Amino acid sequence: MEVEYILPRIASLANPLRVAVLISGTGAGLNSLLEHQKTSRTHSTKLILSNNNDAYGLIYGNKYNIKCKVIPLPHSSNKDLQRTMHEDLINQELINSNIELIVLNGYMRILTPSFVSKWKGRIINIHPSLLPKFPGAHAHRDVIKAKVSESGCTVHLVDDGVDTGYILAQEKVSVNSLDNIKSLQEKIKKVEHRLYPKVIDDISIGKYHIKS
Tell me what pLDDT residue 3 has. 53
Tell me what pLDDT residue 54 has. 95
pLDDT digit string, tens, across residues 161-193: 999 999 999 999 999 999 999 999 999 999 999
Taking residues 100-111, report their average pLDDT. 96
Torsion of the alpha carbons at 38, 96, 8 and 18, rounded to the nearest 10: -10
Q: What domains does the chain contain, in order, with CATH numbers? A: 17-204 (3.40.50.170)
For residues 168 and 175, what is the distance between their CA atoms, to the nearest angstrom? 23
Specify whether 156 is catalytic: no
Q: What rounded mean pLDDT belongs to the chain?
A: 95
pLDDT digit string, tens, across residues 121-151: 999 999 999 999 999 999 999 999 999 999 9
pLDDT digit string, tens, across residues 188-211: 999 999 999 999 999 999 999 886
Whether the predicted model's global pTM rises above the 0.85 cut: yes
The amino acid that residue 16 corresponds to is P
**Candidates 36, 43, 86, 127; catalytic one:** 127
Taking residues 64-72, report their average pLDDT. 97
What are the beta bridge partners of residue 87?
Answer: none
Q: Give the 3-state secondary structure of residue 110.
A: coil
Tell me what pLDDT residue 1 has. 38
Residue 111 has pLDDT above 90, yes or no: yes
Strand stretches in the chain, DSSP E: 17-23, 43-50, 67-70, 101-104, 123-127, 150-157, 167-174
Tell me what pLDDT residue 209 has. 87
Counting runs of H as helices and runs of E as strands, what totals does the chain give?
6, 7
Q: pLDDT confidence of 40, banded at 50, 70, 90?
A: confident
For residues 157 and 86, what is the distance between their CA atoms, to the nearest angstrom? 21
Q: Give the 3-state secondary structure of residue 72.
A: coil
Residue 72 has pLDDT above 70, yes or no: yes
Tell me what pLDDT residue 150 has. 98
DSSP 144-158: HHHT-SEEEEEEEE-
What backbone phi and psi angles, to 5 degrees, belong to 67? -60, 130
Q: pLDDT confidence of 4, banded at 50, 70, 90?
A: confident
Q: Give the 3-state secondary structure of residue 47.
A: strand
